[in-house]
Amino acid sequence: MSKGAILEWRKARGGSTLGEMRCGGTTFRWGKRTYVMGIVNVSPDSFSGDGLSSVEAAVEQAKRFVAEGADIIDVGGESTRPGSMPIPVEEELRRVIPVVERLAQELKVPLSVDTYKFEVARRALDAGAQMINDIWGLKVDPRLARLAAEKRVPIVLMSNQRDRPRRYIVPAVISDLKRSIDVALDAGVPWENIIIDPGIGFGKTLEQNLELVWRLDELKVLGRPILLGTSRKSMIGLVLDLPPEERLEGTAASVAIGIAKGADMVRVHDVRQMVRVCRMSDAIVRAGQKKRG
């Protein structure tokens, strides 16, 4: 679709501005600053090497992230690294639900559940989670949209090309996300409760991932806030020839450029450092925007 056609679609479907989003007791005011999502992996085979095997360790890490400035905590129980195998729903529930239950009682910031499985999302929301983060953008289970609508929680829709690699990545991602947004809206999810994610590292080549970060601002045509997840990704490892635990500086560079290109939220493993990167990047970017305005 042309840019003009997408703008007409956006006008017809929901909104001309990003507006605000309510998640739990927090209001996200898009465009004011960049928000930070802290990653809590309770999958022992996490690609980044930060997988946690106990509830206590997960709770301790989440509390530390909040103290370091995280605005939201994302809890995931299944590794999404390339080549990883799906785990049974029962195992994912065993890993995720006790952590969500504890964090819902002990944290003031909202919780997101990183899953594409309906039953895991449903149980996590019942346990206290307040956002769904779907790496398949409703392609695996569209029922997640109805669940988000019924529970009145925001949903992150990610563009994932692992099922169908694409040659021209930016138009493919925009088209993919538009379809996901339509599914969500048709299920009753309010326009303001949708966040989009280009899906760095999911079925894309190194060149395509780099291009997506550089052209991130083109996703603004869809009219929804953008979540960017580059933290410790293989894109950084391939460029710098470094293992996940040594990709801090590469992550910082991609976060800073992503913010300059329009990211509204970043999903990160190293919260303390990335909060500082966000604050500095925001100071420059927002000052520039005010000057132009």
Give the residue numbers marked as catalytic. 233, 267
Closest Cα partner for 179 from 230, 119, 136, 228? 136
Give phi and psi for 18, each to the nearest 5: -70, -40
Unique residue bearing structure tokens 């999810």: 189
What are the structure tokens assigned to 83, written together? 């080549």
SS3 labels along the chain:
CCHHHHHHHHHHHCCCCCCEEEECCEEEECCCCCEEEEEEECCCCCCCCCCCCCHHHHHHHHHHHHHHCCCEEEEECCCCCCCCCCCCHHHHHHHHHHHHHHHHHHCCCCEEEECCCHHHHHHHHHHCCCEEEECCCCCCCCHHHHHHHHHCCCEEEECCCCCCCCCCHHHHHHHHHHHHHHHHHHCCCCHHHEEEECCCCCCCCHHHHHHHHHCHHHHHHHCCCEEECCCCCHHHHHHHCCCHHHCHHHHHHHHHHHHHCCCCEEEECCHHHHHHHHHHHHHHHHHHHHHHC
